[in-house]
Structures are given as C-alpha cells and as structure tokens.
Amino acid sequence: MTEAEPTGRVRAMDAGFVSEEAIYALILVAGIIVTAGRHGESSWAVFWTVAGTVVVFFAAHIYAGTLAHLNVGRHDRVELNTAFRASVRRSSGLVIGAAIPAAILLLGATRVIDDQNAMWFALWAEVAALAVLGYLAFAKRRAPVPVRILGAVTTALFGLAMIGLKVIIH
C-alpha cells in the first residue's frame, strides 16, 4: 500500500458515504426539514417529502452522470451500461446521506419519539453525520488529527447553519 492509498476502514466507508453527494443530501434534507417545520408539518409528511425529493434527485443525478460519462473528454467511448453503473455508484451517497435523518423522521412518524422532536433530532443527527464526513474525508488523505477535526467542524457548520435557519424561521 502506498502512502496515498486509504486504509481498509476508510476505503470501506468510500462506498458512497464519504462523498459530495452524501454531504449534499444531508444539507438538502436539512433544508426540507427547516422549510416543512415552518409550515407545521408532521414528521410523517416531512418523511414523505424527503423520500420523494431524494428519489427525484437520485434519478436526476444518475441520468446526468450517465450522460456526462458518455459525452465528456476521455469518456466519449464508454458504453451506456458502464456509464450508468458508474453513475449509480457515485450517486448512492444521496440515498446514504438521507437515510439517517429519514430514519429519525420515521421514528417521529411512528410515535417512537415525539413528532416535533424528531425533526430537531434529525437536524442534530445531520450535524453529527456532516462532522463524521468531514473527519473521514481528511482521514482518507492521512491528514494530522487536528486537520481532521478542523475538517469535521467546518463540514458540520453547514448543518449548524440549517439549524440557525430553523431557529430564525420559527
């Protein structure tokens, strides 16, 4: 293994979790929660809004990625099925990133936790997930621990910004 290669644990996390798509999904879902909370929606309604939005974004991302791989630069000779599989693999971060807050919203929808608290818990879980993504991204590069922590804090700030919006809107 060369110095640039990630360790086994980090490589395993690279299957879609540590990706720009996962970060986008977490921020997108946070925005949906903030907006829906403004209108007094239940966690059940917010869950379905999240699920529908993520499915559309996932499909659009796969479609766009497939087209991009078919027609750009060195990819101009890639076969359709190869471009499609690569796009699905890359886009999986959208679903993975949305899974944590969606699961928490389901806990609220099924009354395992209080309905309104579910949205707050989902937002805070997104902050934590963003922090983990930031940390792992720098761990993959074998950055020193202080840089990894700075990466975690910086990435988590996007989630904290969404929480700030929720507080301001309410």
d(CA 20, CA 25): 9
Tell me which of 162 and 8 has the higher pLDDT: 162
CA dist 12 to 9, 50, 68, 86, 87, Å? Answer: 5, 26, 26, 17, 18
Whether the pLDDT of residue 153 is over 80: the answer is: yes
Residues of the chain with pLDDT > 70, as a percent, come to: 86
Query: Rounded to the nearest 5 degrees, what angle is found at the Cα of 46, between the Cα atoms of 42 and 170?
Result: 70
pLDDT tens per residue across span 51-106: 999 999 999 999 999 988 887 656 556 788 888 998 999 899 999 999 999 999 99
Asked if residue 48 has pLDDT above 70, the reply is yes
Tens of pLDDT along 97-152? 999 999 999 999 999 999 889 999 999 999 999 999 999 999 999 999 999 999 99
